[in-house]
Amino acid sequence: MSSLIRLLQGTVTLRICGAELERFLNLCAECQIRFWNHTKHTFDEMGLTIAARDFFRLPPIVRKTRCRVHLCSRHGLPFLLRKVRPVLAIGVILFVLIAWVMSGFLWSIEITGADAASHDLIRSALAENGVKPGAYTKRLDLERVRNQILIDLPEFIYLNINLHGSHADVAVKKRIRPPEIVRENGFANIVAKEGGVIERITVYEGTPEVSPGDLVVPGQLLANGYMTGRSGVSVPTHARADVYARTWQTKRILFPLEAEQITLTGDTYRKYTLVFGKKRIKILQKGSIPEHECDRIIKKTQLSLPGGLTLPLYLELETAQVCRLDRALLPLPYAITFGTQALEDSLVLSDTDRLLDLRFSATEQNGTVELEMIAECVKQIGVEQ
Amino acid sequence: MRDILKRVSNLLFLPPEAVAGVFRLELIGAEELYLENHKGILEYSDTEVVLHGGDRILRICGKHLSLCTMTDSEVLLRGEFEQISFAAV
């Protein structure tokens, strides 16, 4: 601890020559000048170390003892600071200047009040209007940007941009549309949107025109909008009914047996780029990346300081894997499996629909395979007309 | 006067170095010597150090003697001590 304090205060190593060295030491002790690392070289010469601030208290002692003092070396922080002072001053000025200049730019944008899916949309809209990392904040007209974005993106009802130094907080609120009003006052019939065999029919309003077991075709009247009372008078109403029918949906797909196959050659190229606004600086590139026939993966990472402060700097890593396109013949079972899966995926069923059966058939001809799917379902087929 | 003060300090069970100002010698092994209430250095070399202790002269002989630190009342010596002797002023 004492050596650290000495280092901070600064020390000087002296060589004292003279006949009265003992007296010199006694006078130093009397004047409260602490010394250490004392070495006696010869009978009239010795070396010692004192604190730098005590050096200027030595002349009266030197005069009294008629000794000569030689300064051998200087150590400690004050001398170090004296050495590096110009460099330090330039460093401090540069730091302040850089901090001042950088504080004028927008470094990060935080969006609150919207789902993650909308963030990219808002970010791109902000960027189009000049609010993006790297933008000079003094030139931003936030009021104009806010109004422009609200015009461009009608799905947002509220948007506010608060600028805190080099950070922008963007608060948004999505517009909640009123539910669509169903007009139930007018006259309407229920007709079939597709053909099938009626499974069950429940009429809430109107007169049923079909019964379970009936075969219906698309557009056929299922429930009449006219209701006949006990008096025999027909009253026009807005018919409402749930009509479930067994339907058979047929889908076909033509699948080529010859397909393009991508084969990776094993050659990989990596390119690191530092992105600052529109400026792109290539840092490290191993080989030149070929323009075509490459599987490219671009990973962009925003750089941030350990405290969490994000910088307007991005590190982009582009990995390119060279590939070759070959024409290959697909095995028939594989093609059937692939096509069956594609057909199954194309089948759209609502929550009320029920799938009863799926039948597939395949026919191979002229290098292609034709797959047919018949889906048997129970569906709600009634629509208002 | 110093004798009177010594007696008083003995009677009152007070440390004599504090009351009478006599020197206090502390020896740690044969390598480190700490002297309190000294009156200065009389002679100094790497084989012999003579210190003024007020009413006594303290002579320390040995090898590689070095003065580690010194203030107006304290002295710290290091080295290989061989002989410590006292003489009247």
- Is the Cβ pair B67, A38 closer than 8 Å? yes
d(CA A258, CA A327): 7
- Is the Cβ pair B70, A21 closer than 8 Å? no
A237-275 core/surface letters (b: 16 or more CB in 10 A; e: else):
bbbbbebbbbbebeeebebebeeeeeeeeeeebebebeb
Report the residue from B43, B66, B71 with minimal CB separation from A34. B71
How far are the Cα atoms of A385, B18, B27 from residue B34, in angstroms, in the given order?
Answer: 115, 16, 6
Are residues A158 and A201 located together in one domain of the fold? no
- Is the Cβ pair B40, A39 closer than 8 Å? no
How far is A39 from chain B, CA to nearest CA, in Å?
6
Are residues A70 and A43 located together in one domain of the fold? yes
Report the residue from A21, A32, A40 with minimal CB separation from B72. A32
Asked if residue A136 is part of any domain, the answer here is yes
Are residues A7 and A68 located together in one domain of the fold? yes
At which of A246, A276, A292 does a domain end?
A246
Are residues A211 and A169 located together in one domain of the fold? no
Report the residue from A32, A38, A39 with minimal CB separation from B71. A32
Q: Give the sign of the dihedral formed by CA A69, CA A70, CA A71, CA A72.
A: negative
pLDDT confidence bin for B28, thresholds 50/70/90? very high
- Is the Cβ pair A25, B66 closer than 8 Å? no
Number of domains chain A is built from = 4
Domains of chain B: 23-88 (2.60.40.2000)
pLDDT in tens, A175-190: 888 887 766 677 888 8
Asked if residue A51 is part of any domain, the answer here is yes
pLDDT above 80: residue B89: no
Are residues A273 and A236 located together in one domain of the fold? no
Asked if residue A375 is part of any domain, the answer here is no
Interface probe with B: pick from A3, A23, A33, A40, most Cβ of B within 10 Å: A40
At which of A182, A213, A246 does a domain end?
A246
Residue A59 — φ and ψ, nearest 5°? -50, -45
How far is A19 from chain B, CA to nearest CA, in Å?
11
Domain that holds residue A61: 2-78
Interface probe with A: pick from B60, B64, B70, most Cβ of A within 10 Å: B70
Asked if residue A112 is part of any domain, the answer here is yes
What average pLDDT score do residues A3-30 get? 89
What average pLDDT score do residues A154-169 get? 88
Contact present, A327 and A241 (Cβ < 8 Å):
no
| Number of Cβ within a 10 Å radius of residue A318 | 17
pLDDT of residue A211: 86
Dihedral of the CA atoms A74, A76, A82, A88 (nearest 10)? 150
Residue of B nearest to A31 (CA): B72
pLDDT confidence bin for B81, thresholds 50/70/90? very high
- The enclosing domain of A48 has a CATH number of 3.30.70.260
Asked if residue A330 is part of any domain, the answer here is no
pLDDT of residue B19: 65
pLDDT of residue A184: 67
Asked if residue A257 is part of any domain, the answer here is no
pLDDT confidence bin for A286, thresholds 50/70/90? low
pLDDT in tens, A73-130: 999 888 888 877 788 888 889 999 998 888 888 888 888 887 877 888 888 999 888 8
At which of A117, A150, A174 does a domain end?
A174
The mean pLDDT of chain A is 85
Token pair for residue A349? 């069923």
Dihedral of the CA atoms A376, A379, A382, A383 (nearest 10)? -100
Q: Could you tell me which residue, B62 or B9, shows the higher pLDDT?
A: B62
How far is B11 from chain A, CA to nearest CA, in Å?
32
Residue of A nearest to B50 (CA): A22
Asked if residue A218 is part of any domain, the answer here is yes
Are residues A21 and A74 located together in one domain of the fold? yes
Asked if residue A335 is part of any domain, the answer here is no
